Amino acid sequence: MLKMLRGKRLIFVGDSNIWESQDFKCSINFIKSPFLVQEWKFSNKAGERRETLWLDTIHGSLTKYHDDDIIIFNTGHWWTHHKTHKV
């Protein structure tokens, strides 16, 4: 894995520590943040206010991540049985 990442920057979103591999010139950053993606608010046809996250759109204020080679989002806590199960 480190050979694949030689000279790259890898970001894990969801924690707050930094790892580095000097031999491979690879740094792995852990960034704790509730939303690094764009949040949208809209009204549905019934006029109810809804919120959604666009996982394919990085929030505009996060330009510091544009130089990163790989960003991994930890979204597991959003997909619990309670949130995805429809009765």
Choice between 30 and 21, residue whose per-residue pLDDT is larger: 30
Q: Look up residue 43 and give its two tokens.
A: 């009204």
The reported pLDDT for the residue numbered 7 is: 82
State yes or no: pLDDT of 48 exceeds 80.
yes
The reported pLDDT for the residue numbered 78 is: 60
Q: What is the domain partition of the chain in residue ranges?
A: 9-76
Q: Give the start-end residues of each E strand in the chain.
A: 9-13, 18-21, 26-31, 37-43, 49-58, 70-73
Choice between 72 and 87, residue whose per-residue pLDDT is larger: 72
The reported pLDDT for the residue numbered 65 is: 67
For the whole model, what pTM was predicted?
0.37
How many residues are present in the chain? 87
Q: Which helix (H) or strand (E) holds 39?
A: strand 37-43
| Sheet containing strand 26-31, strands side by side | 18-21, 26-31, 9-13, 70-73
Q: What is the mean pLDDT of the chain?
A: 69
